[in-house]
Amino acid sequence: MKNKKSLLKRLGLGLTSLITIPLICIGIQLYQNNYSRPLTDNPEMELANVRKDLKINKNLKINIDYTSEGSYSSKNIDNSYNILLDFDMGRNEAGLRHELCHIKNGDLDKIFHYKLSERAVYFLWAEPRATICSLGGN
């Protein structure tokens, strides 16, 4: 009986985490989108500055561009990376830092999007870690 109660407590804590951690991340990202320094019209210069600040490996090839199709980063077959930052949501220093943190942490080197458990790891670990990492900028 005691084990059943303990299991229910853990299940409740797990479900609460599944809801609150992504909500906190979304809240931080919305706040950053309004108050972080907007990036200039020179994305390569912005990338170089933030990349230096985050001490990203100099050997990694990273391409950057602005878009109107959402902000995200991806890894190419030649091991280079792309960062696309949306004009409305993410074209700011925090957005750039967030995507660079995903690259720095190796989040794009793993496949997170196929199994439910991988998605959970992404939303409960990789996304909060990138969000916290992005807090260091202006």
Which residues of this protein are in contact with Zn ion, per CB under 5 A?
127, 130
Outline where DSSP puts E strands in 1-138.
62-67, 72-75, 81-86
Residue 11: CB minimum distance to Zn ion, A = 27
- The residue among 46 and 102 lying less far from Zn ion, judged by its C-beta, is 102
Q: Which two tokens stand for residue 46?
A: 């912005």
- The residue among 9 and 110 lying less far from Zn ion, judged by its C-beta, is 110
Which residue is listed with tokens 């660079």?
A: 100
Residue 124: CB minimum distance to Zn ion, A = 13
- The residue among 46 and 127 lying less far from Zn ion, judged by its C-beta, is 127
Residue 30: CB minimum distance to Zn ion, A = 13
Contact 38, 92 (CB under 8 A): yes
Q: Which two tokens stand for residue 95?
A: 């957005």
